[in-house]
Structure 1
Amino acid sequence: MTTTDTDYSTLKLDVPDGSQALSITRDFAASPDKVFRAHTDPELFVKWCGPDTITNRIREWDATTGGHWSYLASDDNGEYGFFGSFHEVRENERIVQTFTFEGFPDAVSLEILRLTDLGDGRTRLNSTSIFDSVESRDGMVASGMEHGIREGYDKLERMLAAGL
């Protein structure tokens, strides 16, 4: 797989050949505290996460260092479960968590999300996901992940513009 730099508004997805990692960069017209809150408040998270065709429901959510999370995403084709642990939650700056799709429970990834204050009420989100293998990473990319991230972050941008 070649490196992919795709620009949807300000979304950049980097998928380097032969690497177990991928990174996502997206700028938002909102302060870091608002972007952070959208990632840690379960009532906000379910409204923006994933593609437009998905409805999310929280099963468990403790967005604190050492906490855990679990949610169900559903669409016309069924339900999909996801879960993980929050390893570090540093307010308005950083979230380190595991991510597991229940359909592939052996393929756990580590996600490191960083928020950078760009000034003028703008924030840069950079997320790096490290997968257990190149094959797992490539399978996630092939699943349509990029489409879901793009639509989800576009929904988040609209929510932020409306004041959350």
Structure 2
Amino acid sequence: MCEIDLRPGGTWRYVVHEPGDGGGYDVAFHGEFREVRAPHLLVTTEVHEGMPPATALDTVQFDEDEHGVTTLTLDVLHEVPAHRDAQLATGMEGGMQVSMDRLEELVTRGAHRPDQPPPASPPA
């Protein structure tokens, strides 16, 4: 599930289903857009639901070089080091890497669902 109101002051929320024994479990996050400068910058708050209350500030920046290659930079700022450490202890780095790999695949192969085969090429 994903809800996005992409404007300064707008909110977002998404829920990721993690497979596992007994049907798996859901992990949810929500926040508020603080700054939106398309197509280069998003600044949002982020709350990992189910964790102790700790709001992080996320800055996502997209920079394109002279060859048309875009680099995505994501900075996550926690006010309290213990909140950062708790988030890292969840294994979120591995999950973020999976998400970044899927994004790279989407950008390089074209839009299709990662759980579905890519669309067939038209006949030559």
| Structure 1 residue 105, shift from structure 2 partner | 5.1
- Find the aligned partners of 1:119 and 1:151 in 2 and give their Cα distance: 27
> Kindly, what percent of the aligned residue pairs are identical?
31
Corresponding residue for residue 9 of structure 2: 66
1:1-164 equivalences under 5 Å are 57-58=1-2, 60-75=3-18, 76=20, 77-104=24-51, 106-164=53-111
- Find the aligned partners of 1:160 and 1:119 in 2 and give their Cα distance: 18
- Find the aligned partners of 2:52 and 2:91 in 1 and give their Cα distance: 18
Q: Deviations over 1:114-156 (max 9, x none)?
A: 1111122211111111113101101111211111111111111
**3-state SS of the aligned residue for 1:103?**
coil
Report the number of matched residues: 107
State the one-letter code of the partner of 1:125. L
CA RMSD of aligned residues (A): 1.3
Task: Point out where structure 1 has 5 or more consecutive residues left out of the alignment.
Answer: 1-56
**TM superposition outliers: structure 1 runs of 4+ over 4 Å:** none
TM normalised by structure 1 equals: 0.61
- Find the aligned partners of 1:105 and 1:121 in 2 and give their Cα distance: 41
- Find the aligned partners of 1:131 and 1:97 in 2 and give their Cα distance: 12
Task: Point out where structure 2 has 5 or more consecutive residues left out of the alignment.
Answer: 112-124
**3-state SS of the aligned residue for 1:66?**
coil
Which has the larger Rg?
2
